[in-house]
Amino acid sequence: MDEIRLTAREVEQCRTVVRELAVSFGTVEDPELLARATVHAQELPRPLRYRLNDFRLAESSAAVLISGFPVDEDRIGPTPERWGAQPDTTSTFPEEAFFLLCASLLGEPFGWATQQGSRLVHDIVPIRGHEELQLNSASTTQIWWHVEDAFHPFRAEYLGMMCMRNPDRVATTYAPVNGVKLASDVVDVLFQPRFVIRPDESHQIEADAGDEGTMVRRSYERVGQMRDEPVRIAVFFGDRDAPYLRLDPYFMDRTPDDPEAEAALAALSAELDRTLTDLTLAPGQIVFVDNYRAVHGRNPFRPRYDGRDRWLKRVNVTRDLRKSRELRAGPDARVLY
């Protein structure tokens, strides 16, 4: 994993860019802020921009960690009890703005109409009642490693997570695809469209949509269709010698009619299990996982429900918004329906 450590001087430079945005904006969800972020991000320190550009373009690593940006523990306020429940969106504005500026050096932040009320920046917090679900709001159960939104053709190229607090040092888990060793005939099978991935539960909790508009309803219908009539896809794609990957075994069908495909998936899963490592984010740290080149998950933990729970902000980033135009309301709209 690449690590970028900001120097004290660089942090000051980053804060200057953020302060300028804070004059005009109170929330990072303002569409105008995102339009400006792309431009203002070019005022971030040049070493940071070079390193993120290498990560994006040369695929120097399957994840990059950015350390050094401070989090003001008092100002951010208590960990919300559920996503979207932060009483004052300005309380985390500096952290989230820096996060989005970094994200916009990799591509375009976007959101899903079927997730967290169409917000771009998600809250990852434990929610009472979700403890055992296979969702990021779970706690006592582990989140099995996965490619984010693996079922969807327009899933993120990068998944960004920024830590607000993590007092119990709960680890995100991570495994890059280039660490796996597989026989050549297994790789062949993984490159063939013989696998089924269904939408995960985070896209199916209708009550959480927060918006009953036709677009949202249609979006749930589309996800429902992907669940009920999934098409077979390849797990590996791209370069035969350095494949990209797309899988989420927890939501994948077994294929008893195709034992060879089942065995290939089992072999890849065993390799990813073998190479899975812990990444414990500390407040202020940001990780961008290359969602084409690595899987991620999370270890289980005991939730506190006392306002001091683990709290991450999360953003989906695509390199190219245009490819999902049929699912968006306008050329610069960032929500996929």
Contacting residues toward ligand AKG, per CB under 6 A: 124, 136, 143, 148, 172, 296-298, 312, 314
Instruction: Find all residues with CB under 8 Å of 252, minimum gap 6, and list them.
Output: 195, 196, 197, 198, 265
Q: How far apart are CA 327 and CA 137, in angstroms?
A: 26
Question: Residue 316 binds what, of Fe ion, ligand AKG, none (CB under 5 to 8 Å, by partner type)?
Answer: none
Residue closer to Fe ion (CB basis): 148 or 157: 148
Residue closer to ligand AKG (CB basis): 40 or 203: 203
Question: Residue 175 binds what, of ligand AKG, Fe ion, none (CB under 5 to 8 Å, by partner type)?
Answer: none
CB 160, min distance to ligand AKG, A:
10
Question: Residue 298 binds what, of ligand AKG, Fe ion, none (CB under 5 to 8 Å, by partner type)?
Answer: ligand AKG
Question: Residue 314 binds what, of Fe ion, ligand AKG, none (CB under 5 to 8 Å, by partner type)?
Answer: ligand AKG
Question: Residue 10 binds what, of ligand AKG, Fe ion, none (CB under 5 to 8 Å, by partner type)?
Answer: none
Radius of gyration of the chain (CA): 19
CB 70, min distance to ligand AKG, A:
21
Residue with CB nearest ligand AKG? 172
CB 14, min distance to ligand AKG, A:
23
Q: Helices H, strands E: what count in the chain?
A: 7, 14
Question: φ and ψ at 188, to 5 degrees?
Answer: -55, -50
Would you say 302 is a known binding-site residue?
A: no
Can you say whether the dihedral through the CA atoms of 177, 6, 24, 310 is positive or negative?
A: positive
Residue closer to Fe ion (CB basis): 25 or 174: 174
Altogether, the residues listed in the chain come to a count of: 337
Q: How far apart are CA 281 and CA 271, in angstroms?
A: 24
Which run of H or E residues covers position 248?
Answer: none
Q: CB atoms < 10 A from the CB of 273, how many?
A: 12
Would you say 90 is a known binding-site residue?
A: no
CB 287, min distance to ligand AKG, A:
9
Instruction: Find all residues with CB under 8 Å of 146, minimum gap 6, and list them.
Output: 200, 247, 248, 249, 250, 251, 295, 296, 297
Instruction: Find all residues with CB under 8 Å of 253, minimum gap 6, and list them.
Output: 196, 198, 230
Residue closer to ligand AKG (CB basis): 267 or 287: 287
Would you say 128 is a known binding-site residue?
A: no
Q: How far apart are CA 58 and CA 159, in angstroms?
A: 17
CB 172, min distance to ligand AKG, A:
3
CB 277, min distance to ligand AKG, A:
13
Would you say 203 is a known binding-site residue?
A: no
Residue closer to Fe ion (CB basis): 95 or 148: 148
Would you say 326 is a known binding-site residue?
A: no
Local structure of residue 134 (DSSP, 8 states): S
Residue closer to ligand AKG (CB basis): 148 or 157: 148
Binding residues: 146, 148, 172, 296, 310, 314
Binding residues for 2-oxoglutarate: 172, 310, 314
